[in-house]
Amino acid sequence: MATTVQILRCCTRGSRILFQSALLRNTSVGTKTTFGTSSALTNVFEARRGPFTPEEKRGKGHMMSASTHWKVERILMIGMIPLMPAALFYQSPFIDHAICTAVFLHGYWGMDGVLTDYLEKFVPWVKPLWTVLSIIAFAGLVNFNYNDVGLCKAVQMLWSM
């Protein structure tokens, strides 16, 4: 596990950290490994406890606060409950696009949360890559809805095989 963490740190901060950890590693049992005076390296996994400023609570550079985003996610999730059976019984381009958008947003926000919480700290370029791949995927789904049978009909055809 420690080796994996060191490799991920090297991806973002350069090979200096791996070199330092190899030089400063203490191999005796029961002692704590230190990296000199750099507290940022030893406290990389420690969460900061409050008090937080209002700007930190809102999030810097975000269009909406975290609580508003959470509410929008829950509204979308609850809205998907009647949308799924409606897609089975009433097929139309509107339902195809509504299902496509709802399922895509649900998956996008879920994966975005996972990437933000667990991977962005070590691999900062993963968020722009995820955004580009998501835009391409959503454009492909919209293109499939316009130029082919649509998402609901495609699932129905797949089930009838």
Residues at the annotated binding site for heme b?
Answer: 106
Query: Is 6 in contact with 24 (CB distance < 8 Å)?
Result: no
CA distance 64 to 31: 45
> Is the Cα dihedral 27, 33, 34, 35 positive or negative?
positive
Residue set of the binding site: 106, 118
Binding site as annotated, residues for a ubiquinone: 118
- Dihedral sign (CA 70, 76, 78, 84): negative
